[in-house]
Structure 1
Amino acid sequence: MKIQNDSNKPIYIQIAEWLEAEILAGSFKVDDKVYSQYQLAEMFTINPATAAKGLTMLVDERILYKRRGLGMFVSSEAKEMILNKRKSNTLVKLVKDLVQEANRLDVKEEELILMIKREKEE
């Protein structure tokens, strides 16, 4: 992954989302130790404090947990929490935008549902 310095999304959020994607992909499993702030800083050529902020965000969300003196580890509920978060944040926004656009284009509910079903079948 490449950090996008010109993105509207803060770097620490990009780091957190990258770690979430790694957890979802199975690169990190329950109780696995994740990269330290210094390893992340080196990997992405960013300030260690920025990397720490991304890690802290995931600790605050209980996706990671700290072991004093040992580092940060993947929590047992991490995958489920990430999936739920992404569903509620990403999909809800996409659906809302889709429905608004369908309304602007005068697409009826039944037609929109058929379009979604067809797309899902592919």
Structure 2
Amino acid sequence: MFHFNDEESIYQQIADQLIAAIMTGTLAEGDQVPSTTAIAKGYQINPATVLKGMNQLVDLHLIEKKRGLGMFVRTGAQQQARAMRQAAFSRDFIKPLLQEAKRLELTNDQLLKLIQEATSSD
């Protein structure tokens, strides 16, 4: 389930990958999230690191702790995760794209044409 790289902290990668799993429905609303211990043992990671990533999702209200049972995906988490990713996409990609288009003095029609051309070449 998890794939790690050296570019960002492991706890952040855990959080991001759990968010992706929620967003795609791999972890459905109501599903139990793999335990901190299971993830830590399975990937040879410090349990505190795993817990730090999971606590981010608790803070974002994507998962909830049920005392004595574990952590579960909250109702509405998929839609919320998608909305979070859309906001990040706008912030990280769309706004910089529009800023560069403005610097290049591209009209909206020209920009749309470039996007359509790029899409059709895939």
TM-score by length of 2: 0.86
Cα pair 1:67 1:73 within 8 Å, conserved: yes
What pairs up with 1:50-89 in 2 under 5 angstroms?
50-89=49-88
> CA contact under 8 A between 1:65 and 1:73: conserved in structure 2?
yes
How much does 1:118 deviate? Answer: 5.0
Q: Cα distance, 1:26 vs. partner?
A: 2.1
Aligned residues: 120
The alignment yields a C-alpha RMSD, in angstroms, of 1.9
Residues 3 and 44 in structure 1, CA contact (< 8 A), matched pair in contact too? no
Identity of aligned residues (%): 36
Ranges in structure 1 where 5+ consecutive residues have no aligned partner: none
The whole-number CA distance in structure 2 between the counterparts of 1:115 and 1:11 is: 37
Structure 2: runs of 5+ lacking an equivalent: none
Show the 5 A alignment for 1:40-55.
Answer: 40-55=39-54
1:24 aligns with 2:23: yes
For residue 72 of structure 1, report the CA deviation from its aligned partner.
Answer: 0.1
**1:120 CA drift (Å):** 5.6
Confirm whether residue 113 of structure 1 aligns to residue 112 of structure 2. yes
Please give the alpha-carbon distance, in whole angstroms, between the structure 2 residues aligned to 1:100 and 1:39.
45
After superposition, give the CA deviation of every residue in 1:2-21 in whole Å (9 maximum; x if it has no partner).
Answer: 211x21x3211110111111
With normalisation by structure 1, the TM-score equals: 0.86
Contact 2:24 2:78 in 1 (8 A): no
SS in 2 for 1:50: helix
Alignment of 1:3-42 (within 5 A): 3-4=4-5, 6-7=6-7, 9-42=8-41
* Aligned partner of residue 101 in structure 2, secondary structure: helix
